[in-house]
Structure 1
Amino acid sequence: MIRRVLGNRIVQICLVLAVLMIAVLLWLGFSALKVRGDLDDARSEASKARSLALDGDQEAAGQAADAAADKARSASDWSHGIVWSAAASIPWLGDPLQSVQQMSDAVESLATDVLVPSAELASVLNPAELRDGNTLDTAPLAEAEPQLAQVAATSSEIAAQVEAIDPSWLGVVSDAHTQLQEQVDEAAATMTGTHVAAQLVPTMLGGDGPRNYFLAFQTPSEARGTGGLVGGFAILNARNGRVTVPTLGANSTFRDPVRPQIDLGPDYDAIYSSYRPYTDFRNNNLSAHFPDAAKIWIANWKRQSGQQLDGAMALDPIALSYVLKVTGPVTLPDGEKITADNVVPITLSTSYERFRGDSAERKLYLQSIAKAVVDQAVSSGGDTGALLEALGHGVQERRIMIYSTHPDEQRILESTELGHQISDTTAPYLQVAIGNAGGNKLDYYLRRDISYTAGECSGDTRESKVVVKLTNTLDDLTLSDYVIAPNGTVRSMPKGTNLSNVEMLTTKGSVVKEITVDGSSPMRVEQPLNGRPYVATAVQIPPGETVTIELTLEEPTLARGEAVVPIQPLVDDPTVQVDVPVCGE
């Protein structure tokens, strides 16, 4: 009898526990649907708020931001309930619920601490609101800088928090995490970019007094460390938000000084002095470190003109093509139209055949193109946001670079892609730079394939390998000698052969174990540069062929974080593969 009663009690307890478990599961299921719905709505309203703020619609942006905050708070409340929190504490099984809690908190912070204050700054976030014809009203940006600094810092913190969330084993939660990461990264990029603009634009565009800059037009059909040989230049003047181009000249009008006007140090000189980079305009930008070229241009221009410049900038025809996609084509004095589609082949290829050599006529033609595009960019009344997006595309590809002689501004520039400097990071690092050593225009036909792999993080060091494949795609040997023949080199080479100096900057503390070119050991240069190891070798690439350079390194595992691999802006879009395990943070 007692056993029967005890058995019944056990059954009853089990039934009660089963009912409770079912109730808990039903409640969790209902809560999950509610949280998911609220998060979806919050993310949707957040995207709307960001778009409206960028469009300058402060009222609508504020409404959308408030709606996003309400939905995010609701999702956070549901996901932090007693039942949800208890289930989330269960090892492994509760991981998805814990991840959802963290994502709900992140969305709430994004809406409350980033989007709501961003809506109040809508007039600053929309560049069209600041632009009046060819003048930019920089005062609102300067006034909003403290608020932008706070919002930018908060958005970056939220992006880091979301990145640290375990996406969990549940696919739907992992997918939601990926979508949220993209959203918070976009918000952080927008706010950080706007804050950088607020710090730089007012003063650099002459808000505190006139500014003057050297602008180099690089032609990557003949490669240099920063991109390409400088085919022409301009002096830009900025005053109270308005940019003009009072001086425009071909490279031949930039008079080389007899003696160096600056000293970039013994490491730089050990590598480049034989090419006379200080006194030969063609070689001022051999180093991949843009501040080196900028300092030479500024010093040499002062020697030539007496004018002290405030900085230097550089861009290439591919960046100009992005601008023309927004502004539309430009018409030259003879009626020829230069478009986004033809500006690159014209400036980097067909103009050499059209004028058959290094003629003054060709340089004047290229100058007229550059001036027309720059004038249209600074004076066009078109979509300012789209124009900035096009310029941002050029910056992202490292095709637009800026240096400032003002230390505070330069520190900020170096924190962005605009600085285009050899990074000081202690993380795993690879920077491959091609320098044309043949004095021709064959880099228009050069294609690059770069891979960087490393071993695991065990031990004090690990072996890594760099493989660079260079292909010469030239298939027309009837082109002019100016394009395909060696010029200014003592080497005897068949026409169409690309002679490239391949420079590789590697991880701090790394040691070269071996370098080969198509399996053979070449002559090489090893030398420190900008605080990191540098190794270089020259290769000949016949038409239609590929040359493979392999570099084996011993790298310290103390090099922490994600690998940094900046890409030199040439004509091609190189294939880049990076497989470098992260050794700690």
Structure 2
Amino acid sequence: MTAPSADAPARPRRRRRRILWVLAAIIVLLVVVGLYLGYLAYKAKGDLETARTQATAARAAVLDGDVAKAKAAAAQAQSSSESARSKTHNIVWSAAAAIPWLGSPLDSVAQISDVVADLSTDVLSPIADLATTLDPTTLRTGDKGINTTLLGENEAKLGTIADVAERIDARAADIDGSWFSTVADARDQLVGQTTKTSRFIRGTDTAAKLLPPMLGNNGVRRYFFAFQTPAESRATGGLLGAYAVISARNGRINVDNLGPNSTLRAPARPIDLGAEFDSNYAINRPYVDDRNSNASPHFPYAAQIWMSMWRQQTNTRLDGALATDPIALSYLLKATGPITLSNGDSITGDNVVEVTLSSSYKRFGGDNPARKAYLQEIASKAITTLTTARGNTGGVLEALGRAVHERRLMVYSTRPEEQALLVSSGLAHEVTQTDAPYAEVTVGNLAGNKIDYYLRRAVRYESGSCTGDMRQSTLTVSLTNTATDLSLPAYVIGGLGNPDKRIRPGTNYANLTANLTNGAVLQTITVDGQAPLYGTGTELGHLHVMTQLRIKPGATAVVKYTFLEPTSARGAAVVPVQPLVDEPAVTVDVPQCR
């Protein structure tokens, strides 16, 4: 038997010490790597913040037409973003970012730095070279026109940059914000910036494509220009109030005719928009009664009716139609400055909505000719403001962009290639022919008053899961009548436009229309839990449902539609919002079927 060595008890101790030293070394290494990554993250964060700030400055300089400032800001954004990219793509960062879950914030930051660098290099730098295209001193000509030649010359370059900007925006949207809230917030801010930038450049590109031909570079163009009055709701926004016929040649716009809706005469030979349109709207006599000419939310229908009326009245063929409202005008006046009327009144971005849709009815009482003359002067000066685009270019473009986004500025062209561009840019205000889930609700005033200035709306669209061929869906519409002051003029809260219905003062008497998903099947419709009279049809592929409401002063009517819709309706839900006075609360909970 061999006696145990004296060194035997020491071996486990030495082994343990070696293990402890290895563990200590690993811990030290991890601490060093962590500190290094923290340092890189801190420096990269500073670079990205500088890049984003300079990117915003470059965009603002482009809008101001300041080429030197735009180039300098774009160069600084490019330098800072490249610095961030180098830090977030070194070997240590990349290795840490590859660790499942734990490294996802680092991977997201690396992707953010890539997007910011590419945005600076491939979008901001080349767009800075085109800043003169938006320079107010070159974009507008001395005779109050628009330099459409300059826009046309840069259209190809703008189109290329817009394509790149949209691809970068899509990449930003695909970045996973990760589990770390700070990185998630940075990702959301980046998406907001890339989306704003891509929309601005695409909008400028669309303007460069549309404005030269539509403003008469190849011969005179003439258009019907409608001012809608959303205090008396119609499907495209509001009653046709004042109107103008404008002509354009080589970027210069003139007002050839201006008048109230009462000067439009019913055509002897109305146009025909087809059996489906007639089935839905013939009872309103839209072809011959301008007050109901925009009963459908599909703006091309209203445009064609107005153009038909004008052609038969004057034997003049028009090339298209435009429409807007006082809310859109308020956005524009905030960018251009006020307009001054002949009586000295100052109409500003802050008061134009209240003046045109509310106080003028109190001011003039029953003197409709005086009120219409007053509003007509505002319309005339508004056209001049809109067509000359005076003021800061960036502010004007932002105002117009907001009006388009809210569907308050709509345009129709008789040229198919121009109309296709108008559709893609959101200017056409069409009932979209799509197979995606769809819910569009419109209110039409039936009392002939101006009570919709006091209407407030909420819309909720919900659907079940994408199992089976059909799924259960619900559309809930809440309409609140906030008109509680019964001392308001009868023209505002009375029923003068429909006396046979004996409408009590302050009651909102309206037609409510819903266009639903292609292939949807209506199950029930209720108004405050009760089944109403209703009608159904189709409009441009959608289920079309109509009912009427009477909403008492201060009351809310809740209309609920339950329906089945096909799970073959794929993609994100489309929920167009009717442009009225309020900004409705819209909630969409519709899972995307694939």
Shift of 1:212: 0.8
Partner of 1:550: 560
* Matched position secondary structure for 1:414: helix
Identify the range of structure 1 (80-89 vs 271-280) with the bigger mean alpha-carbon deviation: 80-89
Shift of 1:381: 4.9
Distance of aligned partners of 1:282 and 1:11 in 2 relative to their CA distance in 1, 3 Å threshold: same
Shift of 1:377: 4.1
* Distance in 1 between residues matched to 2:350 and 2:19, nearest whole Å: 80
Does the CA-based 8 Å contact 2:453-2:581 persist in structure 1? yes
Shift of 1:359: 3.5
- 2:470 is the alignment partner of 1:461: yes
Distance of aligned partners of 1:69 and 1:274 in 2 relative to their CA distance in 1, 3 Å threshold: same
Counterpart residue identity of residue 108, structure 1: A
* Matched position secondary structure for 1:237: strand
**Aligned Cα root-mean-square deviation (Å):** 2.1
Counterpart residue identity of residue 228, structure 1: G
Does the CA-based 8 Å contact 2:134-2:393 persist in structure 1? no
Cα displacement string for residues 1-51 of structure 1 (whole angstroms, at most 9, x for unaligned residues): 465555454444434433433333233223222322222222222222222
* Matched position secondary structure for 1:159: helix
Equivalent of residue 219 in structure 2, options 209, 214, 222: 209
Partner of 2:332: 323
Partner of 1:443: 452
* Matched position secondary structure for 2:233: strand
Identify the range of structure 1 (184-193 vs 457-466) with the bigger mean alpha-carbon deviation: 457-466
Identify the range of structure 1 (282-291 vs 6-15) with the bigger mean alpha-carbon deviation: 6-15
- 2:513 is the alignment partner of 1:503: yes
Counterpart residue identity of residue 159, structure 2: A
- 2:524 is the alignment partner of 1:524: no
Distance of aligned partners of 1:266 and 1:131 in 2 relative to their CA distance in 1, 3 Å threshold: same
Shift of 1:307: 1.2
Equivalent of residue 477 in structure 1, options 481, 486, 492: 486
Partner of 2:347: 338
Shift of 1:137: 0.9
Distance of aligned partners of 1:442 and 1:19 in 2 relative to their CA distance in 1, 3 Å threshold: closer
- 2:151 is the alignment partner of 1:141: yes
* Matched position secondary structure for 2:513: strand
Partner of 1:432: 441
Counterpart residue identity of residue 469, structure 2: D
1:168-567 aligned within 5 A: 168-261=178-271, 263-357=272-366, 359-379=368-388, 381-486=390-495, 487-488=497-498, 490-567=500-577
* Matched position secondary structure for 2:70: helix
Partner of 1:55: 64
* Matched position secondary structure for 1:303: helix
Shift of 1:223: 1.0
Identify the range of structure 1 (347-356 vs 513-522) with the bigger mean alpha-carbon deviation: 347-356
Equivalent of residue 579 in structure 1, options 548, 568, 589: 589
* Matched position secondary structure for 1:435: strand
* Distance in 2 between residues matched to 1:336 and 1:65, nearest whole Å: 44
Equivalent of residue 26 in structure 1, options 28, 31, 35: 35
* Distance in 2 between residues matched to 1:384 and 1:12, nearest whole Å: 67
Does the CA-based 8 Å contact 1:259-1:279 persist in structure 2? no
* Distance in 2 between residues matched to 1:546 and 1:3, nearest whole Å: 83
Counterpart residue identity of residue 153, structure 1: D
Distance of aligned partners of 1:328 and 1:176 in 2 relative to their CA distance in 1, 3 Å threshold: closer
* Distance in 2 between residues matched to 1:334 and 1:188, nearest whole Å: 43
Does the CA-based 8 Å contact 2:437-2:574 persist in structure 1? yes
* Distance in 2 between residues matched to 1:12 and 1:478, nearest whole Å: 89
Could you list the runs of 5+ residues in structure 1 that have no partner in the other structure?
Answer: none
Shift of 1:577: 2.3
Counterpart residue identity of residue 142, structure 1: G
Equivalent of residue 86 in structure 1, options 95, 106, 109: 95
* Matched position secondary structure for 2:69: helix
Shift of 1:469: 1.5
* Matched position secondary structure for 1:222: coil
* Distance in 2 between residues matched to 1:528 and 1:415, nearest whole Å: 24
Counterpart residue identity of residue 239, structure 1: R
Partner of 1:71: 80
* Matched position secondary structure for 1:155: helix
* Distance in 2 between residues matched to 1:46 and 1:352, nearest whole Å: 47
Distance of aligned partners of 1:358 and 1:26 in 2 relative to their CA distance in 1, 3 Å threshold: same
* Distance in 1 between residues matched to 2:517 and 2:484, nearest whole Å: 37
- 2:67 is the alignment partner of 1:36: no
Percent identity of the aligned residues? 49
Identify the range of structure 1 (408-417 vs 13-22) with the bigger mean alpha-carbon deviation: 13-22
* Distance in 1 between residues matched to 2:186 and 2:488, nearest whole Å: 55
* Distance in 1 between residues matched to 2:295 and 2:137, nearest whole Å: 38
Counterpart residue identity of residue 537, structure 2: Q
- 2:120 is the alignment partner of 1:111: yes
Does the CA-based 8 Å contact 1:327-1:377 persist in structure 2? no
Shift of 1:99: 0.8
* Distance in 1 between residues matched to 2:571 and 2:557, nearest whole Å: 31
Counterpart residue identity of residue 240, structure 1: N
Partner of 1:157: 167
Distance of aligned partners of 1:556 and 1:77 in 2 relative to their CA distance in 1, 3 Å threshold: same
What number of residue pairs does the alignment pair up? 583
Distance of aligned partners of 1:4 and 1:344 in 2 relative to their CA distance in 1, 3 Å threshold: closer
* Distance in 1 between residues matched to 2:344 and 2:59, nearest whole Å: 42
* Distance in 1 between residues matched to 2:91 and 2:76, nearest whole Å: 26
Does the CA-based 8 Å contact 1:315-1:401 persist in structure 2? yes
Cα displacement string for residues 207-258 of structure 1 (whole angstroms, at most 9, x for unaligned residues): 2221111001111121111111111210011111111101111111111113
* Matched position secondary structure for 2:333: helix
Partner of 2:5: none
Distance of aligned partners of 1:201 and 1:360 in 2 relative to their CA distance in 1, 3 Å threshold: same
* Distance in 2 between residues matched to 1:163 and 1:379, nearest whole Å: 36
Cα displacement string for residues 528-566 of structure 1 (whole angstroms, at most 9, x for unaligned residues): 101111111001112222211111122233333332222
* Distance in 1 between residues matched to 2:145 and 2:576, nearest whole Å: 34
Distance of aligned partners of 1:337 and 1:524 in 2 relative to their CA distance in 1, 3 Å threshold: same
Partner of 2:133: 124
* Distance in 1 between residues matched to 2:40 and 2:90, nearest whole Å: 9
Shift of 1:523: 1.0
* Distance in 2 between residues matched to 1:508 and 1:481, nearest whole Å: 41
Distance of aligned partners of 1:549 and 1:489 in 2 relative to their CA distance in 1, 3 Å threshold: farther
Counterpart residue identity of residue 406, structure 1: R
Identify the range of structure 1 (7-16 vs 442-451) with the bigger mean alpha-carbon deviation: 7-16
Distance of aligned partners of 1:81 and 1:152 in 2 relative to their CA distance in 1, 3 Å threshold: same
* Distance in 2 between residues matched to 1:512 and 1:270, nearest whole Å: 18
Does the CA-based 8 Å contact 1:88-1:98 persist in structure 2? yes
Partner of 2:3: none
Cα displacement string for residues 47-89 of structure 1 (whole angstroms, at most 9, x for unaligned residues): 2222222222222322222222222222222222222222211
Identify the range of structure 1 (59-68 vs 267-276) with the bigger mean alpha-carbon deviation: 59-68
